[in-house]
A = this chain, B = another copy of it.
Amino acid sequence: MQLYSYFRSSASFRVRVALALKGLAYDYVPVHLVKNEQTQPDFAALSPGRLVPVLKDDGALLSQSLAIIEYLDETHPQPPLLPADPLGRARVRALAMDVACEIHPLNNLRVLRYLLHDLGVSEDDKNRWYRHWCETGLETVERQLASQPETGRFCHGDKPTLADITLVPQIFNAQRLNCRLDHVPTVMRVFDECMRLEAFSGAQPSACPDAT
């Protein structure tokens, strides 16, 4: 397998963690987003959305990090990244989507660039925007983790799932952009728990071959 990744891309980070939890080896192919390599013909031919990550598996090209992780979970079931029961699966997927659909899309590099360069928003207002969606989105996750009995050592029980895989990279982004995190203590407790695992710590941006 080959993973087209950028060290700071949190969607790529998710897939790196999933591959590590599954114990799957892969070639790391860097795509430098700040240099716009994702729009160059070579990569654009592999990625309909001009986005990382892309996973190449036996010739097949897969996009969208959560779809890639579900694919890995279906093709390499051990250890499972989703619970066995439908309600548990729905809870884990919803927690993942609270990050992947409500926070991350608003704080993507191309979105921040559009705010600055196309709408003429100031650097300060762009950062306020970033923090707003990140802080309110994490509050949504906190409300669930803090109040629901399914929460364990990790987001759902005592094994890492898709929910943790999606949450941890978002916390890295939040810390880099100086977001408030003192209002989400359960989220941070789970984050610390995840970071004790080599699958998470070894997949973090600074551990990537293209880290600068």
Contact = CB atoms under 8 A, between A and B. Distances in A.
Interface of A: 48-51, 60, 62-64, 66-68, 70-71, 74-75, 86-87, 89-90, 93-94, 97-98, 100-102, 104-106, 111, 114-115, 118-119, 121, 125, 128-129, 132, 137, 140-141, 143-144
List 7 A-B pairs, minimum CB-CB distance, nearest first. Answer: A67-B93, A105-B105, A64-B94, A71-B90, A64-B97, A67-B94, A49-B140
Contacts of A97: 64, 66-67, 100
B114 A90 contact: no
Contact of A98 (B64, B71, B74, B104): B64
Contacts of A140: 48-50
Main secondary structure of the interface of A (DSSP, over half): helix
Nearest to A51: B102
Stoichiometry, copies per complex: 2
A137 B143 CA distance: 31
B93 A86 contact: no
9 contacts: A48-B144, A49-B137, A64-B98, A64-B101, A68-B90, A71-B89, A106-B111, A119-B119, A119-B125
A119 B121 CA distance: 7
A114 B87 CA distance: 33
Given A64-B97, A98-B64, A140-B48, A89 B74 contact: yes
Contacts of A63: 94, 98
